[in-house]
Amino acid sequence: MEVFNKFYSSVSSTVSQLSGVLPGNPVTREFEATALIGTAGLGLLWKVYSGFKKSTKQEVSIFVLEKKQLDRFSKDEKDNMLEILKRGVQQLTKIRHPHVLTVQHPLEESRESLAFATEPVYSSLSNVLTDNVRSEKKLFDIEIKHGILQVIEALKFLHSDAKIVHRNLTPESIIINKQRSWKLFGFDFCLAGQCKTDGTYHWVHTEYSSSAHVFTQPSLDYMAPEVALNSSVTPENDLFSLGVLIHSAFSGGKPLRVFSTDYSAFRRYATEINQGKLPRLQNIPAELTENLKGLLHASPTHRIKLHELAQTPFFQDVGVRTLNYLDSLYQWDNLQKSKFYKGLPEILPTLPHRVNLHCILPYLVKEFINSPMVPFVLPNVLLIAETSTQKEYVEHIFPHLKPIMKLQDPIQILLIFMQKMSLLLKLTPADDIKQHVLPLLWRSLECDMPQIQELCLNILPTFSSLIDYNATKNALLPRIKKLCLGSQNVSVKVNCLVCIGKLLENLDKWLVLDEVLPFLSQIPSREPAVIMASIGIYKIALGNAKLGITKEVMATKAIPFLMPLCIENGLTVAQFNCIVSLIKDMVSHVEKEQREKLEQLNTIQKDNRPIDAADILTNELYKSNSSSSPKDDMFSVPTPPKATNVLKLKNEQKISSQPAISSKPDLLTSLMNANLEIKPKVTNLGHSQQLSYGNYNQPTPNPNHNMWNTKQQPSAYHSQNNNNDVLDSMSSLDAFLGPPLPGQKVVSYPTDPFASSTSLLQPQNSGNMSAAKNNKNSVQLSQQDILNFLN
């Protein structure tokens, strides 16, 4: 809460300051001030605010001098200070040079303040050098080198062209703009040269007065010694001041000596310099020490010249030369620029990120208005973006990329964007991706360069989650399908299919079934790569639980499409095995699902059908037959199908009223041990009964007759010689021989079915057994005959 209160109080104080200072000043009609960013000028009296122009929203800086700051001085001193400050701004407004601060709106005065607007600035050099709190403000050596060179260029212009001596070259008079360029400011004590008859110039000035206020005279800390000793004003005075400024830049804002208002101390210091006693140079790079001593020479004529200083090795490293080249870039043609931009990617990694972002980037984005140069500049801009935070990217880089993303010529712009698309997706906000990046991708898919198309197809799946469903369905998928069907490049076709396969995770089941899978059969190409890409889509759709292909689609569309692919001659063995494996998987899925469906339908039909007694009995008999072991009965036969159980049920229903045969297994055991061959001559079989077999047209039995409980009748067959009669009567035992013919005798078995197997099967007369063996009409009972008899 305390932090919030401090933040609120700071904002409130800033707003109150602005509202108390600017209202009433004509500058407020056109410009809006937002926040205080620093101080500058004589005694740091100028307060610098960030702001913008109301009509165009152009960013500016507003310099404001509150007159109440001068209320502590006498009226004459206050008036004198105001006149000096006004004259300095008026002189600044007249000068036009790249390294002199540019004035956007001239000085305006109100009862409370003086104000004027300039180009956007970062801070004053004095604020940067003396700020020990914010480490990000600490200057790199390359920034100091480049800044000094810019001041040298400004002084060269003042001395050679404008014939002006600055006279107050201090850190307070150096402004660092938004591009981190050093701009000359503070022309409060400048003197313009007067031309003599011989063509030379001289500068007239008033001598320094120790009684005058310090704010009404140049700073003694940066003043040349000849000014105090000889009252001499020449351009070489600024060279000495430049030497002290360089020392101050490398020493954290500390000049060689601090005099404040002590003019007598300054004169003693000047005398020491004349005697060659220079103060100790601390924190100065070794390669700059000799040059700095040349600037601080006691004799103005022996001081190193500005152009000689600029050519020293200290200012000739690659980084400084690169920044200097950018300063003069407007002088070169496109060919020279292109060569420079091609080599710039090798230099950017060697420079500090802040230098790249604030010193180099502003020059690069200015080239965006020159479309032929965009392909050379854009890679460097994106290279700087790679080392930027998202905040820096959104604030400094992306606003300049928005109009470039709409360009379609030259085509290399699309290629560069596709190559760096992962970077754009990483740093660009989601809303801007939909508004600016997606249209870029649509244009890439529709261009004629396969390389760009392939890059776009490879990139699309990486941010498919950022594309909403409607855009995917109505914009993205149709474009990919159109490209796949229309392209003659096999690589593009394969990349289209691979891209669709990667996008399946973000599609729903019905879109895949209705749009994706039918599209695969429309592709005319039958190259192995295209076939395997299609197989991959089928595998993903089949293995994904969310997208699972229905059995109808597999049976009617997928399998008929895949089968002809197996016989393509260009396939390898591994590719053939992959296709066949997929087909088998689909067939297995169809078989499994269809079987389950049919079983469910049969179950539902059984549950809805009324159950009668015959069904119950059939099921019970089927279960009993299924549970019996074939090892228990050598005569057991495979369980008949359910369809045959119905016939068996009918036969069994005929004897349902008869008693159960509990000793049936004993009878079967006896039959196994007996000789199953029936002898041809059978006599005295005893009382007989005629057996009735189902499905044969036998005479209708007496309703009072019971096949298991008939009374025994005396046997009518006692003749041992009548073999034909015996065979005729035996034929009635075989269910496969049909009923007995009229007039034939029927062999009768004992009434008790559980009688001894010997008496049941052994003929009464064994004398004619040898004759029976030779008889062609002899009959042998098979196992099935016995079972049919028992049943």
Which domains does the chain show, CATH number per domain?
A: 2-126 (3.30.200.20), 128-318 (1.10.510.10), 374-592 (1.25.10.10), 613-654 (no CATH), 664-697+705-791 (no CATH)
Mean pLDDT score across all residues of the chain: 78
HSE, CB side, 13 Å, CA atoms: give it for residue 306. Answer: 21
Q: Which tokens hold the place of 292?
A: 């700095």
Per-residue pLDDT at 611? 63
Round to whole Å and give the CA distance between 762 and 734: 17
Distance CA 460, CA 555 (A): 32
Give the dihedral sign, CA 500/501/502/503. Answer: positive
Pairwise CA distance, residues 541 & 500, whole Å = 11
Residue 178, token pair as written in the block: 């938004």
Residue 725 reports pLDDT greater than 50: no
d(CA 203, CA 159) in angstroms, rounded, equals 12
CA gyration radius for the chain? 57
Per-residue confidence (pLDDT) for residue 543, from 0 to 100: 85
| Contacts for 37 with CB less than 8 Å, ≥ 6 apart | 48, 49, 50, 61, 121, 122, 123
Cβ count near 748 (within 10 Å): 22
- Give the pLDDT confidence of 315-332 residue by residue, as tens digits: 988 999 999 899 888 788
pLDDT tens digits along 525-580: 889 999 999 999 999 888 887 887 888 988 999 899 999 988 888 889 999 999 99
Helix axes 438-446, 477-486, angle to 10 degrees: 20
CB-side neighbour CA atoms (13 Å) of 490:
9
Q: Tell me the C-alpha distance between 243 and 222, whole Å.
A: 9
**Which of 162, 168, 167, 158 has its CA nearest to residue 306?**
158
Looking at residue 657, its pLDDT comes to 41
Query: How many whole angstroms separate alpha carbon 521 and alpha carbon 558?
Result: 9
**pLDDT per residue as tens digits for the range 280-316:** 888 889 899 999 999 999 889 999 999 999 999 999 8
Q: Percent of the chain beyond pLDDT 70?
A: 74
**What pLDDT, on a 0 to 100 scale, did the predictor assign at position 748?**
44
Confidence of residue 168 (pLDDT cuts 50, 70, 90): very high
Q: Check residue 210 and give its pLDDT.
A: 81
Mean pLDDT, residues 44-53: 94
β-sheet bridge partners, residue 48: 38, 63
Least confident of 339-353, 616-630, 666-680: 666-680
Q: What does DSSP assign to residue 436?
A: I
Cα–Cα distance measured from residue 246 to residue 250, given in angstroms and rounded to the nearest whole number: 7
Per-residue CA distances from 142 to 114, 138, 146, 330 (Å): 35, 12, 6, 22
Structure confidence at residue 614 (pLDDT)? 66
CA distances to 124, 403, 698, 781, 788 from 735, in Å: 126, 102, 11, 10, 7
| 670 vs 532 pLDDT, higher one | 532
Buried b / exposed e across 699-715, counting CB within 10 Å, b at 16+? eeeeeeeeeeebeeeeb
Query: Can you give the pLDDT at residue 15?
Result: 45
Cβ atoms within 10 Å of 791's Cβ, excluding its own: 12
SS3 210: coil
Q: Which parts of 504-641 fold into alpha helices (H)?
A: 509-511, 517-520, 528-543, 551-553, 559-565, 573-608, 613-627
DSSP lists the bridge partners of residue 542 as none
Q: What is d(CA 21, CA 73) in angstroms, rounded to the nearest whole number?
A: 20
Look at residue 675 and give its three-state secondary structure. Answer: coil
What pLDDT shows up at residue 717?
A: 38
Alpha helix (H) residue ranges in 504-572? 509-511, 517-520, 528-543, 551-553, 559-565
d(CA 599, CA 605): 10
